[in-house]
Amino acid sequence: MSDEAVHGPLHGVRVIELAGLGALPFCSLKLADMGADVVRVDRAGEVPADPEPKGYSSWDRGRRSIGVDLKHPDGVATVLRLAASADVVLESFRPGVVERLGVGPEAVWERNPKVVYGRLTGWGQDGPLASSAGHSLNYESLTGVIRAIGPEGGPPVPLLQLLGDFAGGGLH
């Protein structure tokens, strides 16, 4: 049996996820499900000592995690060291944040010019909403999806699942 059949089509692909909300964790979860080696970079202090503590979320499955302070030079150096041996780096910060922190595409490409640097921002890197936080409820509201649910003439009803985040993460 081939490695792909046993481990998945992305076996051997290393992904660094700069932990975020919404579409990014779903995207990296799906990459891990397909066999990628995903290392999630969490905020320092947010990584449990026990990899599967009581209440462990199935959203965390298949990924290793490291706690890093991106506002400290040692934390930036750690991320750049991880990125140097990665195939993919994914982030979902608002435009300009990773550049200010020192882990933006240019800094990563200096160490690894072949890495694929993916940005899963809510509203893209430019445009009128680019600097706004993007979350599933925002997308569903702006597109009118929440008006399609609930009683006629009643208030908007938020979806019970994160459709916007799942769709965005699944497409990346």
Quickly list DSSP for 3-33: HHHHH-TTTT-EEEEE--STHHHHHHHHHHH
Per-residue pLDDT of 44-93, as tens digits, reads 876 555 555 544 566 678 889 999 999 999 999 999 999 999 999 999 89
| Alpha helix ranges (H) inside 66-122 | 73-84, 97-101, 105-111
Residue segments in the chain with a per-residue pLDDT below the cut of 50 = 54-55, 169-170, 172
pLDDT of residue 46: 64
Q: What is the pLDDT of residue 126?
A: 85
Residues acting as catalytic residues:
135, 165
Q: What integer best gives the mean pLDDT of the chain?
A: 82
Rounded to a whole number, what is the distance in angstroms from the first to the last CA of the chain? Answer: 29
Walk me through the domains of the chain, giving residue ranges and CATH numbers. Answer: 3-128 (3.40.50.10540)
